[in-house]
Chains A and B, each alone.
Chain A
Amino acid sequence: MAQLNMVQAINGALTHEMGRDDRVVVLGEDVGKVGGVFRVTEGLYDKFGEDRVIDTPLAEGGIIGTAIGMALYGLRPVPEIQFSDFIFPAFDQIVSEAAKMRWRSGGEYSCPMVIRTPVGGGIRGGLYHSQSPESLFIHTSGLKVVCPSNPYDAKGLLLAAIRDDDPVLFMEPKRVYRAVKMDVPEEDYEVPIGEAKVVREGDGVTIVSWGAMVYEALTAAEQVGQDGVDCEVIDLRTLWPLDVDTIVRSVKKTGRLVVVHEAPKTCGFGAEVVQRVMEQAFLHLEAPPVRVTGWDTPFPYTLENEYLPLAHRIAPALMSTATF
């Protein structure tokens, strides 16, 4: 089996699906000839031609608006937004249009499309190349939101997302793009949308995270493991629909919950995770659930490591939760 990084795994998934299904088209800024600024779509232009791998003008609203039209007519567009920080010119098309098309048409029209976009910090990108805007989209009914943390899940989730009949926001943690390699099967497989994964078992504290922060959670779990705190780490993989069962099952075992995400704390998705646990496992809790997150500020350039909820911030939160 080939050892691939996330860029290669996503590229493989796109190549596979475009070969299998000629309705799949890729569009976006610089996705064609140059293969994307992160090279995720490299080679697709040569393989599938400019009718299916489209270098668009610089207009995110135009990219998503036209992708919606393509989807309405029966294509399976996979538009790319170069950085999730630049998704906002397309916010209206995503939130008011793609997300509501099925509902407003009484189920007669729908927008099966996958909006791929790199998210998160860790590349010294400052406030406009580092954000994690998931909450804004989860808050919008009608969208599914996915965020794989590793190459295997990225391929399987992308195939599932392209075959899904609803619009999916596919967030790619750019810090992980080339940082992790693992076995990725060449054959067709799906990682089902809506299933979280327990990536470390333990019965002391439940950590819920996703994307690049899963690695920080695991590092912190190892650190506190040396002090006798045995953490269970859940990688959500899909943020919406949320796999509440996996989280609740874990919290019923541990009685303690720490949620870790890069986005700011206030109204971050951690709040929703915590509330679900309060609703379904309140009497099992032995400590107040804790959020370790980005601060309620824009994302900084120089001080990025002071902003991110890295292991050095997660570990003390785990200790205080464990000893509450």
Chain B
Amino acid sequence: MSDASDDPLLGLRHVIRDDGSADPDTDPFLPEETLLAMYRELLKIRRIDVRMLGKQRQGKVGFFGTITGQEATPIGTAFATRQSDWVFPALRESAIMICRGFPLSTWLAQAYGNSADVLKGRQMPSHMSGRAVNQVAWSSCIGPQIPQAVGAAFAARQRGDDTVMVGFMGDGATSQPDFHSAMTFAKRWNAPVVLICQNNHWSISVPTEKQTASKTIAVKARAYGMPGIRVDGNDVLAVYAAVDEAVRRAREGGGPTFIESVTYRIGPHSSSDDPTRYRSAEEVESWAAKDPIERFERYLRKAELIDDAKRAAILDELEAEIAAAIDAVEDLGPPPRESLFEDVYEALPPNLAEQRDALRALPEAPKGH
């Protein structure tokens, strides 16, 4: 694979060709069950986006950050890592938890911020995390998780564990000092970490070419002395192969890898954004034509792993699964208001005990805004 596709300036690694065949030089040759499981997860995430955006429009949830068009990166990563590997996500990787067996209803409860939410209704929707699946809690702040992933990787090695850390970011995040610190430290320590940038071409209204004058994002890795890989982020097998290679290298002591996954944000930045104000319908359509799920489906059809009937059956199952998960949590009440004071510290300090008692003595706050 040491041809132009390894050049972080020019190359873009692909597996699936336009006609649905796989490039035998890059094909990871995954077993059938894995391929079908990946397909199912991709469809599931897409469908969750549609349902939750609908819920946001109905006012059932306050916000939602969709990943439509970008599903291949989280799903490819989920399949290329072990459950014991940690994920430091940004906004568009929470779906990895679902692939790792985190209960869908509990995951959805985060978007409702209600009493079934393990985060106790504290974070905005689309900020899912869960220790049960080694998905670290993230802030809405762009960038801080990147050096944190590097530090955790150092710690895992120092403890003698073979755990690999995966840190995610968007293209916008690569302008933050935290990104550059993370890159410096990662290679300096040869830490077992994989840093993955989903270059979805937009940082809200700012296109990547206005974000940085670098020709690519992957090329930045060169200056820090580590491999920088560019992968077709709409090709789930290519993402799988790139992450698999990087995770293996990290686990074997070969140090960090930076991966730029080139994809596109088909939907708005979030449910509060109107992308028609800054980008053309033609641009969106040209990327919709490269849809990662359709692409993978062509491959699966060519390999005769799915057909219309199988696809319809999977979709029906998913629809029922998602509907049941939503029904299980949608109407639950908010977390108890005293829960506000929990977890600020391990033990409740006097000022918070006093304030909790003061809150208890108050009538309930008005609803609405």
B205 touches A312 (CB 8 A): no
Nearest CB to that of B173 among chain A residues? A58
Does B351 make an interface contact (CB < 8 A)?
A: yes
Q: How far is the CA of A298 from the CA of B365 in the complex (A)?
A: 18
Q: Mark A124-153, 1 if CB is under 8 A from B, else 0.
A: 111111000000000000000000000000
B206 touches A29 (CB 8 A): yes
A295 touches B341 (CB 8 A): yes
Number of residue pairs across A and B with beta carbons under 8 Å?
A: 133
B176 touches A89 (CB 8 A): yes
Shortest C-beta distance, A6 to chain B (Å), equals: 16
8 additional contacts (CB under 8 A) given A58-B175, A124-B124: A37-B273, A58-B206, A62-B175, A126-B123, A126-B124, A128-B140, A305-B365, A306-B365
Q: How far is the CA of A55 from the CA of B364 in the complex (A)?
A: 43
Query: Assuming the A-B contacts A34-B278, A57-B175, A295-B359, are A306 and B340 also in contact, with contact meaning beta carbons closer than 8 angstroms in the complex?
Result: yes
- 29 chain-A/chain-B pairs, Cβ below 8 angstroms: A29-B203, A29-B204, A34-B205, A55-B210, A57-B172, A57-B210, A57-B211, A58-B176, A59-B175, A59-B177, A61-B177, A89-B177, A89-B178, A125-B124, A126-B123, A126-B127, A127-B123, A266-B351, A295-B355, A296-B351, A300-B340, A301-B121, A301-B123, A301-B124, A302-B335, A303-B335, A303-B337, A312-B362, A312-B365
Interface size of A by Cβ–Cβ distance < 8 Å?
A: 44
B362 touches A297 (CB 8 A): no
A297 touches B352 (CB 8 A): yes
Chief secondary structure at chain B's binding surface = loop
Does B62 make an interface contact (CB < 8 A)?
A: yes
A302 touches B334 (CB 8 A): yes
Across the interface, which residues of B come within 8 angstroms of A57, CB to CB? Answer: 172, 175, 206, 210-212
Q: How far is the CA of A296 from the CA of B123 in the complex (A)?
A: 17
Does A122 make an interface contact (CB < 8 A)?
A: yes
Q: How far is the CA of A168 from the CA of B178 in the complex (A)?
A: 26
Interface size of B by Cβ–Cβ distance < 8 Å?
A: 50
Nearest CB to that of A301 among chain B residues? B113
A310 touches B124 (CB 8 A): no
Q: How far is the CA of A298 from the CA of B315 in the complex (A)?
A: 41
Which of A33, A303, A305, A308 meets B205, CB within 8 Å? A33
A312 touches B367 (CB 8 A): no
A85 touches B366 (CB 8 A): no
Does B143 make an interface contact (CB < 8 A)?
A: yes
Across the interface, which residues of A come within 8 angstroms of B351, CB to CB? Answer: 265-266, 296
A303 touches B334 (CB 8 A): yes
